Structure 1
Amino acid sequence: MTVTETVKDTEALTLTFVTDFAAPVEQVWQVWADPRKLERWWGPPTWPATFTRHEFVVSGAARYHMTGPDGTKAHGWWTITTIEAPFRLEFDDGFGDDQGEPIKDDQPVHIVVTLDGAGGKTRMTVVNHFADAAQLERLVTMGMQEGMRLALGQIDQVLSNS
């Protein structure tokens, strides 16, 4: 398992995941930049993701859905706000309607991904920033914390097949 630390900070309104990989930064960056690699890990194993749009540029949009074991589809979207390849990515992530478009009045989570490399290894830190404590608790109750741990745990397999 690649996840080495998970920290829920109710004062800072963040949920942070730290993962370590035996791969260089440029290779780990590709699990975000390449939508086919992203599909292989974004979402827990029983809820695989399909990206129907992936504009990996600042202000770019992504649209995706995760498909549950019973065929249920949960749609989501991203708007990319910062790209500093291959070390930093920031985006807003929210729930989508049946076409993956943002749901009116839904508050997105702002996600900051940083990659730090040394000696051919990479530490990836993913910090989820919530609008308020109610949103943080609602998403944790929905399973976000465990879901992200399971999703991130799939990246080693993606990297081994790069």
Structure 2
Amino acid sequence: MTNNFVFETDMAAKTIHIAREFNAPVEKVWRAWTEADLLEKWIAPKPWTAKTKIMDFTVGGIWLYAMVGTEGQKHWVYAKFTAIENGSAFSSTGMFCDGEGNPVVDGPKSYRDTKFTTVDGNRTRVDSVITFEEESTIKMFAQGGFKEGTTMTFSQLDEFLTIK
């Protein structure tokens, strides 16, 4: 069954639209996106891993995590949840930061709206729209391997959903 992957960049609007279908019910996919111990199993493109320091999945709460490389290098990411519709959607603001959650000065900032819908009764479609503040940031994401990394992590999520 096809996964109907979409990755569309709109440079003028400074947005990237990503959509993907998964062969699992929406409840299972929602949990994989919103629970730290499950996110860590698929969110980092291999051979990298993800390690959560803080996960407070509430409006105003944060997810502070590191992408950890094979030699122990860490790239810290901070996401603040700005809206949550339990089981169907959430929004967040994201940025790079240090291990304490302090933003990288002049670092890129993005806003993500993610929606989960049931397809054909037992499948899930995830739609994310990422909006960037700066043109230079969307260029970095659009040209810097973000599509390939997203494709890889979604494949990892497919594998995880079949065993979990």
TM-score by length of 1: 0.91
Tell me which stretches of 4 or more aligned residues in structure 1 moved more than 6 Å: none
Quick one: which amino acid aligns to residue 69 of structure 1?
T
Contact 1:81 1:91 in 2 (8 A): yes
Contact 1:65 1:100 in 2 (8 A): no
1:133 is matched with: 135
* Aligned length, in residue pairs: 162
Return 5+ residue gaps in structure 2 as ranges.
Answer: none
Contact 1:2 1:156 in 2 (8 A): no
2:29 is matched with: 28
1:153 is matched with: 155
TM-score by length of 2: 0.90
Mapped partners of 2:144, 2:99: distance in 1:
19
| Matched position secondary structure for 1:32 | helix
How far off its partner does 1:41 sit? 1.4
How far off its partner does 1:2 sit? 4.3
Return 5+ residue gaps in structure 1 as ranges.
Answer: none
Mapped partners of 1:105, 1:9: distance in 2:
23
Contact 1:43 1:148 in 2 (8 A): no
How far off its partner does 1:42 sit? 1.4
RMSD of aligned C-alpha atoms? 1.7
Alpha-carbon spacing, 1:69–1:96, altered in 2? closer, same or farther (3 Å)? same
Contact 2:58 2:84 in 1 (8 A): yes
Quick one: which amino acid aligns to residue 10 of structure 2?
D
| Matched position secondary structure for 1:65 | strand
Quick one: which amino acid aligns to residue 57 of structure 1?
T
How far off its partner does 1:20 sit? 0.6
Taking only the aligned residue pairs, the percentage that are identical comes to 27
Contact 1:6 1:16 in 2 (8 A): yes
Task: Tell me which moved more, 47-56 or 131-140.
Answer: 131-140
Alpha-carbon spacing, 1:68–1:89, altered in 2? closer, same or farther (3 Å)? same
| Matched position secondary structure for 1:30 | helix
